[in-house]
Structure 1
């Protein structure tokens, strides 16, 4: 049996044919599907690897996985019945036994359209809010397209017999399921060892020379909230102990370097580039306070990873973030004053850091790989059974 996975992620192809991804999508991600099928085809955007260091990104290719390039689907033709890349998607869907569409994504929408046209079974993974993703994109085109994206997403989910959500409640309320559905995060964190809490407690109580504040997200994403963090840190810089603001993520950093210089934070900001998934935990172990002031967020994969390592976390009250943090750890998206005060208080409050560390680790224990794998495998087992019953 062959399945097809459709999403807008941008993969990078090296001269030797190996395929990489800067964000998630290491080969282990595909194993959740390969446990049920012989081959998996990935429909996505593709670019050349160029001069990126392979050791800093995730190897995505491997046995039984094939990548097929789809032209960048964004543009005016997105609004037409036949967007760019649809013919490529249609031909690929004709050759598969089942479609997995990760939404929101234009390639995902095209794959679902092709699946209905060819009567091919499909399931949907809901990983974000179609409206908010476009509304916070950063320009008028995104805001204009947002209501259309919302309708497309609602329409597609309303016809799905198998739907997987990464949130417990938030995305289900925004885009209600009709058929069989489950809540199962797409995060991949290792099993949390007992010593994680004690090691974090020792770190919090130690006499630190410098406070490490961290964020993890694409530098080119307008909705990650980097600007809020820069403004908040500038507002309270004189009231904080010596600190570094460490940023892990891909994308051009020139804009943020300029802002840091403008706000007199140039000596405080460290751009850490990208790291393979397996090295992110090590990076997080050196972070004291982790921030997620997003304008929109599906669930907050990076936040779950930070909580699992005992980081003291603060975030905005959007998307699935309130499912992970207590109200006192949240601020209204864009409320820099409240956000700054939260950082200032947490930076010097050892008792609160200890509380947040213990509470955070306990909160994300259900997201451990072994636990999620059971839910995920049951979902795809039922999807496979539905396909087999049709044949």
Structure 2
């Protein structure tokens, strides 16, 4: 585990920053573990700003299997987590959350998030300074779960728009998409919450050699996303693979991500491609990069996104990439490689458009563009904005 980072922002008193989001943190007894996007780098991002950090979120019981390399969250991070959002109906739970908000100096509230919307209301009531991070679209996230979710999607979208509109400080992870859909009257910046420590230029030559050696009808596709939520869209790729199988292609589809695999396994069996779909499971962050080096093409079929961490990381490894028309994906890859959400025919068509020439062009372009997300670039921008936020609200 890395040492606690030195603080970039210096003030006279110790500062407690409170992060609020609906994320489900893995928990074993009283200890919390890192998860994808919420790893050591995530926590250190805020510890470079605040002296101490506390978290309000959700939890789930994490089972550590033999040989699992899951890492614990550093012990000086305070957690208050609930199992289910329905627990917000419990006055005792709300009182504990309210106390955490009262005891904090500054709040970082990530939305979409039910806990986040509650924290905005209480921060306003207690006159606590808060900053909102907008990482996704609640309408896309909820409405894509089915017709029965349209009304709650509309209600939560309305509340989220109101919270962001009245926020004095807002960080968007996209350059345009979320800003247009959820505008604010306050100060804001565009700054991805996905950062890369480095981009290895030497690997690009290996990627180009790998493309040269490809058998045109034998490809490894990969997706990195939770496997037990329908809106991640892996089922659409499986259906397209079946169409391609009928034309003599053998595509191995590797799925990285945790969750119940039973639904996607049933889809693969239904389409007769079960032997072509491999469930890799959850990987440590550094192992995701190693996995990306092994696949031939990355596909991101999700029906809702903010700015995709998985795509940016695939870009850094020079992967040819195609993905669904969701969130900020247009800001990452060329429109020629974007398909309508859930459109199996377009997935099929874009896959067939790949050849060694287009794959090499994409590999070079994607790796070059990934450098926009280097940690050194984004931390300077984000910390400057936090310095302004804290300076205006110096307690």
For 1:164-206, what per-residue CA distance to the aligned partner results, in whole angstroms no more than 9, with x for missing partners? Answer: 0000000000001221111111113231122122111111112
Output the CA distance in 2 between the equivalents of 1:171 and 1:98: 24
How far residue 298 of structure 1 moved from its aligned partner, in angstroms, is 1.0
TM-score normalised to structure 2 length:
0.91
How far residue 304 of structure 1 moved from its aligned partner, in angstroms, is 0.9
For 1:70-95, what per-residue CA distance to the aligned partner results, in whole angstroms no more than 9, with x for missing partners? Answer: 352159x78xxx89943332111011
Q: Secondary structure at the match of 1:177?
A: coil
Q: Secondary structure at the match of 1:40?
A: strand
How far residue 54 of structure 1 moved from its aligned partner, in angstroms, is 7.5
Output the CA distance in 2 between the equivalents of 1:48 and 1:236: 39
Question: Pick from 52, 55, 75: which aligns with 2:68?
Answer: 55
1:185 aligns with 2:192: yes
CA pair 280-70 structure 1, distance change in 2 beyond 3 A: same
Partner of 1:363: 369
Residues 241 and 251 in structure 2, CA contact (< 8 A), matched pair in contact too: no
Residues 36 and 384 in structure 1, CA contact (< 8 A), matched pair in contact too: no
**RMSD (CA atoms):** 2.0
How far residue 301 of structure 1 moved from its aligned partner, in angstroms, is 1.3
Structure 2: give runs of 5+ residues left out of the alignment: 1-14
Output the CA distance in 2 between the equivalents of 1:13 and 1:361: 35
Output the CA distance in 1 between the equivalents of 2:368 and 2:93: 44
Output the CA distance in 2 between the equivalents of 1:156 and 1:83: 23
Output the CA distance in 2 between the equivalents of 1:158 and 1:192: 36
How far residue 56 of structure 1 moved from its aligned partner, in angstroms, is 4.8
Aligned residue pairs: how many?
380
Output the CA distance in 1 between the equivalents of 2:149 and 2:317: 35
Output the CA distance in 2 between the equivalents of 1:210 and 1:227: 20
How far residue 329 of structure 1 moved from its aligned partner, in angstroms, is 0.5
Partner of 1:65: 77
Output the CA distance in 2 between the equivalents of 1:10 and 1:31: 19
Output the CA distance in 1 between the equivalents of 2:299 and 2:108: 32
CA pair 29-91 structure 1, distance change in 2 beyond 3 A: same
Give runs of aligned pairs for residues 86-125 of structure 1, distance below 5 A: 86-125=94-133
Output the CA distance in 2 between the equivalents of 1:53 and 1:97: 41
How far residue 386 of structure 1 moved from its aligned partner, in angstroms, is 2.2
Residues 60 and 83 in structure 2, CA contact (< 8 A), matched pair in contact too: no
TM-score normalised to structure 1 length:
0.92
Partner of 2:7: none
